[in-house]
Amino acid sequence: MTPIATPFFFYLLAGTMIIGGVLVITRRNAVHSALALIVALLAQAGMYLMLYAPFVAAVQIILYAGGIMVLFLFVIMLVNLERAQKERQFNRIWPVGLLSAFALGLLFVGVYSKGKTLLPSEMMQIPESSNTQEIARYLYGNYMFAFEIASLLLLVAIIGAVVMAKKRI
Amino acid sequence: MLSYLQSYLGGDALTPGQAGNQLWALIYILVIFAGVSVVVMAMNWIERKALAHMQVRLGPMRVGPHGLLQPIADALKLMLKEDIIPARADSFVFWIAPLIGLLSAFTVYIVIPFGPTQAVTDMNIGILFMLGVSSLSVLGVVMAGWASNSNYPLIGALRSSAQMVSYEVAMGLAVVSAVLMTSVGGIGMYDVAGDGIGTLSMIGIVQAQQAQHVWFLFKFFPLGLIAFFIFAVAMIAETNRAPFDLPEAESELTAGFHTEYSGLRWSLFMLAEYAAMVAVSSIAVTLWLGGWLRPFPNALAGPTWDFIFSLFPGLTFLALGAIGMFGFVRMPAHPFFRVQKLGLGGFAAVLALIGVLLLAIPFAARGHEGTILAGFAAGLSAVYWFIAKVAVFMYLYIWYRATFPRYRFDQLMSVGWKVLLPIALAVLIATAAVGVLIPVIQVWFKGRAG
Amino acid sequence: MTDPTTTLSRNPLDLDESRTFLDANELVINMGPQHPATHGVLRVILKLDGEKVLGTECVIGYLHRGVEKIAENRTYTMFNPYVDRMDYVAAVSNALGYCEAVEKLLNVEAPPRARYIRSILTELNRIASHQLWLGTHALDIGAMTPLFYTFRDREEILKIFEKYCGARLTTHAFRIGGCQYETYDGFEKDVLNFLQFVAPKIDEYEELLTTNRIWVERTKNIGVISAKDCIALGVTGPVLRASGVKWDLRKAQPYAAYKDFDFEIPIGQNGDTYDRYIVRMAEMRQSLRIIRQAVDAIPEGPIMAKVPKVIKPAVGEIYHSIEAPKGELGYFIVSDGSTQPYRVRVRPPSFVNLQALDLMVRGALVADVIAVIGTLDIVLGEVDR
């Protein structure tokens, strides 16, 4: 299937992501920040689609926007945030923030100028229809060990959360 | 444009989305939107009538003949109600919460296959897309509860969303079992050689059931059945319906996340709930009940059986018209009932007319195979069987609501995590094991025999 | 279990002196007088820890009408219609208790035919009350359909009452000394038809609920009260019998015509909500048995004893209690020799049973509070009088 209006959609999605990201850090209300983050994550799912990775896009929506953000919202709503809203923002460390942003910018510039030689010249043309199968092949084939370690890590996190939260096992 | 339409109705084109035809995709979207709205209104009426009849009473009888105009009256009333926004509520989030629920409920319809080519589009990750988008509805619930700025809706919203998130896990695992079955050939019978490649696309799943000559409900018996039951229970919990409707029950302390919503906003929540019900029922029908396939496509095969089964749409509408006529005849002859009687008679006549039309199409298409008319008849038949199966699920929803008491919230969560999840995992592993072992056993047997 | 009379302090919300009154986790909420599930105007203040109930306090009196005070200013016959309004769900039982108490004071006895008629109507009343209990209890737990079915059955009983004395709910069926109305033509036929009509219905409700997994999970081990606590608190009726105590006033201190009937007293074992459900369903069946025996053996004769036109009992006092559907309904009447009683004190079963609420819901969840209120089967008209 031939792609349609690629630059338009790219700028649309990238713009949405950037605006969403900026809104996350500038809103006073924590719930508004979470909503902006959801918008940014959905735009990112769209970007994955443009990279011919539909499986990752769908999983991004299911897990990130539909699971992790719900968790964020739970925490925001259960914790009393009015006190936090009245506190001063951490504006005293702005020199450090400026320095790190400058370093990040240098990194971006470096990657952009050198990057064209770092990456292969053409995008790997993996057909979109077999994206899921290819991911499965690599995930359960070459990277099986990493997959198992990641699942073990998640198990440790779950058990830790349960142990810390329960009053009495 | 016209050539696309001709090839499409001929029955072997692609869905509008796949063919890249935006105009027809748009028309499909509009048709689906209107259809779902009508279905939600019809569900409102059917639920009240069916619930009432199960409870030895009549239900709405006044507004229109046998209450047929009741949904319209309800919609009008809700539109005219005062729009109350609680003080100090976050008005942006308050406004957007029902829209998110509605958006996620309606977006799912893009990939639902009403027929072999009757879908807006057929994504390669269709089932995954549906799971993802329906998980976005949780956000709408949470935001609605929070934006109401009141303690009880917040608790109700958190409970609702915790329930939905928990049952999504079991739902997803049951779906994975069904998807696994697409990649395994039917147990050596019918010479269907599975090359081990399954598919996530909705149309592909139904076509796999067609090729394997078995609905996944009956495949690897009882694994398909258990997976179907897990999905059926989880989908009721997903849509917050009885017996999992504690967060929105009246006799509990927390009155639910949509307490502070009134008028049109509340009706948006109701719309989203019913649309979500139809959507998850469609997923269940597609994955386990053979989608648009007519019953017994292989046991009762052949053109005569095909013809008999293609008469069903017309016969259904004729039966509905007959029931309407029966009600028309039984209405009292009092002048008070004149308008109602006329209305009911007219409605029954329209239904019967549609039935006659739907009967005429297979008759007309009988002699001419391969033409547009035959393709149209086949498409019509496919859509009818799909909708009939979804209608059975809708009736089951109403039946459960009338029959079962409610689960307490902690019991609900324990059922979701401690009962459904282990069973779903077990079914998944068993399906995978059976799927891997069957070709091995086949080869072994062939080696022994040959 | 410790003796509840010592652990129930005067303010049940002060549970532990070592902790502050309102911890960070604790929440005091109000199940207000207007609530779909409190069966009337009952206000329950709950102290919660998250979802768990730490203590409750019932505030009653919203339906107080001063019935006992009114009794001091009415003659004995004039007071008769007032007693129906206390337990309005099972009105005939109240009238039976009152009339029998005054008859004891007067030292007259109702003739046998009147006693049989009274027993039949009272047992019909018991079935009606239990049907209403079943419908509302199931509705609280979430099954909305049995409500309509049980009210349908109740309708048949109310039709019989309407044919007998003209009123459905507040019947004023009995008089001091017997019954005023003779049974109408076809009374026995109606009652037997009703028995035939309702017996399969009770089986149907059992089939719908008794083995239903959701029902069992919602009612087993919920609201447990031991026999010792029941006796200590004075709880009577199906609540007491479900805790294992075989005490029924119809057998222990027979009144009306119950001596002549052969029936069983169903009891439970654990004293939880499920056992109370089983006990009440079984009681309905036993009532059917009693009615059948009564209708078959109803004697001929007068229906009214020789009672003076102006009722002036001798100076004295009497306490007479009957087994109302909800428990022991007692009347303590003090007469000072005049036509109006000096004091009528009603011992309502719901009032005493409601005390057990706090004990039963400690440690349970909020959703269980509603189930327990339903299973205690209280009627606020009785509690507040």
- Out of A58, A66, A67, closest to residue B125 by CB: A58
| Chain B residue numbers touching C38 (CB-CB < 8 A) | none
A1-5, B270-274, B290-294, C283-287: segment of lowest average pLDDT: A1-5
Instruction: Evaluate whether B178 touches B226 at the Cβ level (below 8 Å).
Output: no
Q: Measured between beta carbons, which residues in chain C are less than 8 angstroms from residue B56?
A: 148-149, 152
Chain B neighbours, 3+ Cβ pairs < 8 A: A, C
pLDDT of residue C6: 44
CATH 1.20.120.1200 fits A1-87, yes or no: yes
Alpha-carbon gap, residue C47 to C29, rounded angstroms = 6
Q: Which residue intervals of chain C bear CATH 1.10.645.10?
A: 67-384
Would you state the pLDDT for residue B20? Answer: 65
A90 has a pLDDT exceeding 80:
no
Q: How confident is the model at residue A157 (pLDDT cuts 50, 70, 90)?
A: very high
Distance from CA of B6 to the nearest CA of C (A): 52
Instruction: Choose from A165-169, B161-165, C3-7 the range with maximum mean pLDDT.
Output: B161-165
Q: What is the pLDDT of residue C232?
A: 92
Partners of chain A (3+ Cβ pairs below 8 A):
B
Could you tell me if residue B341 is inside a domain?
Answer: no
Return d(Cα B326, Cα C73) in angstroms, integer: 62
**Average confidence score pLDDT of chain A:** 83
CB contact under 8 A, C142 and B405: yes
- Tokens describing residue B43: 């569900």
Write out pLDDT tens, residues C18-75: 444 344 567 788 887 877 666 778 888 888 877 788 888 888 888 899 999 999 999 9
Closest-CA distance, C96 to chain B, in angstroms, reads 33
d(CA B195, CA B211): 13
B138 vs A66: CB contact, 8 Å cut-off?
yes
Q: Give the structural domain span for B210.
A: 17-293+383-449
How many other C-beta atoms lie within 10 A of the C-beta of residue B23?
11
Give the one of C142, C214, C215 whose C-beta lies nearest to B249's C-beta: C142
Please report which helix (H) or strand (E) contains residue C330, including its range.
Answer: strand C327-335
- Quote the tokens at residue B289: 């009940």
Banded model confidence at residue B439, pLDDT cuts 50, 70, 90: confident
For residues C266-305, one letter each, b for 16 or more C-beta atoms within 10 angstroms of the residue's C-beta and e for the rest, the string is bbbebbbbbbbbbbbbbbbbbbbebbbbbbeebeeeebbb
Q: Is the dihedral of CA A135, A137, A139, A142 positive or negative?
A: negative
Which of C214, C216, C220, C369 is the best residue to mutate to test the B interface, defined by the most B CB atoms within 10 Å of its own CB? C214
Tell whether B310 is covered by a domain.
no
Does residue B395 register a pLDDT over 70?
A: yes
Instruction: Please give, one letter per residue, the 3-state secondary structure of B107-162.
Output: HHHHCCCCCCCCCCCCCCCHHHHHHHHHHCHHHHHHHHHHHCCCHHHHHHHHHHHH
Question: Which residues does residue C55 pair with via DSSP β-bridges, in sequence order?
Answer: C47
Q: Do C143 and B246 touch (CB under 8 A)?
A: no
The whole-number pLDDT of residue B110 equals 87
Helix (H, G, I), strand (E, B) or coil at C356: helix
Q: Check the CA dihedral B380-B383-B385-B390 and report its sign.
A: negative
CB-CB neighbors (< 8 A) of B145 in chain A: 77
Between chains, do A69 and B139 touch, taking CB under 8 Å as contact?
A: yes
B211 part of a folded domain: yes
Any alpha helices (H) in chain C, and if so which ranges? Answer: 4-7, 67-71, 76-84, 91-106, 112-141, 145-165, 187-209, 213-219, 227-233, 238-242, 249-252, 273-297, 349-354, 356-361, 366-376, 380-384
Q: Is the pLDDT of residue B166 over 60?
A: yes
* C-beta atoms of B132 and A59 within 8 A: yes
B139 to A61: CB separation less than 8 angstroms, yes or no: no
Q: Is the pLDDT of residue A156 over 80?
A: yes
Res. B53: pLDDT tops 80: yes
Contact C340, C287 (CB under 8 A): no
* Residue B298 lies inside a defined structural domain of this protein: no
Residue-wise pLDDT for C109-151, tens only, equals 889 999 999 999 999 999 999 999 999 898 888 888 888 999 9
Nearest Cα neighbor of C57 from C19, C18, C8 is C8
Reported as a single tens digit per residue, the pLDDT across B180-190 is 888 776 554 44
- Quickly state the pLDDT bin for B5 (edges 50, 70, 90): low
A21 touches B: beta carbon within 8 Å: no
Q: What residues of chain B, 12 to 31, have a C-beta less than 8 Å from chain A?
A: 18, 20
Res B191: pLDDT: 46
Whether pLDDT at B254 is above 80? no
**Region C67-384: CATH code:** 1.10.645.10
In this structure, which long-range contacts are made by residues B104-107, counting pairs with CB atoms below 8 Å and at least 24 apart in sequence?
A: B104/B133, B104/B134, B104/B136, B104/B137, B104/B139, B104/B140, B104/B272, B104/B276, B105/B134, B105/B137, B105/B271, B105/B272, B105/B273, B105/B275, B105/B276, B105/B279, B106/B33, B106/B36, B106/B275, B107/B133
* B54 has pLDDT over 60: yes
User: How far is residue B259's CA from residue B144's CA, in Å, rounded to a whole number?
Assistant: 9
For residue B147, give the chain A residue with the closest CA: A31
C247-261: per-residue pLDDT in tens? 999 988 888 888 888
CA-based nearest residue in chain B for residue C32: B253
Q: How far is CA B425 from CA A59, B283, B428, C231, in A?
A: 19, 20, 5, 50
Question: Minimum mean pLDDT among B6-10, B132-136, B365-369: which range?
Answer: B6-10
B55 contacts in C (CB within 8 Å)? 144-145, 147-149
Q: Across B277-281, B368-372, C297-301, which has the greatest mean pLDDT?
A: B277-281
The verdict on residue B343 lying in a domain is no
* Helical ranges in C62-167 per DSSP H: 67-71, 76-84, 91-106, 112-141, 145-165
Mean pLDDT for C320-332 is 92
Token pair 């069916």 is at which residue? B50
Give percent of chain B above pLDDT 70.
89
Cα–Cα distances in Å, from B87 out to A30, B114, B254, B344? 19, 45, 19, 46
CA-to-CA distance for B273 and B270, rounded, in angstroms? 5
Residues in chain B with CB shorter than 8 Å from the CB of A27 are none
Q: Subunits with at least 3 CB pairs below 8 A relative to chain C?
A: B
Please name the residue of chain B whose CA is at the shortest distance from the CA of residue A60.
B132
Question: Rounded mean pLDDT of chain C?
Answer: 86
Which of C139, C152, C367 has the CB atom closest to B408's CB atom?
Answer: C367
Q: Read off the pTM.
A: 0.84
Alpha-carbon gap: C141 to the closest alpha carbon of chain B (Å): 6
Residue B388 lies in a domain: yes
User: Cβ separation of C36 and B404 shorter than 8 Å?
Assistant: no
Kindly state whether B93 is in contact with chain A, defined as any CB-CB distance less than 8 angstroms: yes
Q: Three-class SS of residue C112?
A: helix
For residue B348, give the nearest of B321, B319, B368, B374 by alpha carbon.
Answer: B321
Query: Angle B49-B52-B58 (CA atoms, 0-180°, nearest 5)?
Result: 80
When pLDDT is averaged across residues B206-210 and rounded to a whole number, the result is 83
ipTM over 0.95: no
CA distance C195 to C154: 12
Is residue B192 pLDDT above 60, yes or no? no
With an 8 Å Cβ cutoff, are A32 and B93 in contact?
A: yes
d(CA C358, CA C34): 20
With CB atoms and an 8 Å threshold, state whether C145 touches B403: yes
CA separation for the pair B217, B421 (Å, rounded) = 19
**Left if phi > 0, otherwise alpha if psi is -120 to 50, otherwise beta: which for C236?**
beta
Task: Please count the structural domains in chain B.
Answer: 1
Q: Does residue B289 fall inside a structural domain? A: yes
How confident is the model at residue B145, as a pLDDT? Answer: 84
What whole-number distance in Å separates Cα of residue B320 and Cα of residue B358? 13
Q: For residue range B67-110, what is the model confidence (pLDDT) as tens digits?
A: 888 999 988 998 888 888 887 777 888 888 889 989 999 999 98
Coil vs helix vs strand at C139: helix
Question: For chain B, what is the mean pLDDT?
Answer: 83
Statement: residue B301 has pLDDT above 80: no
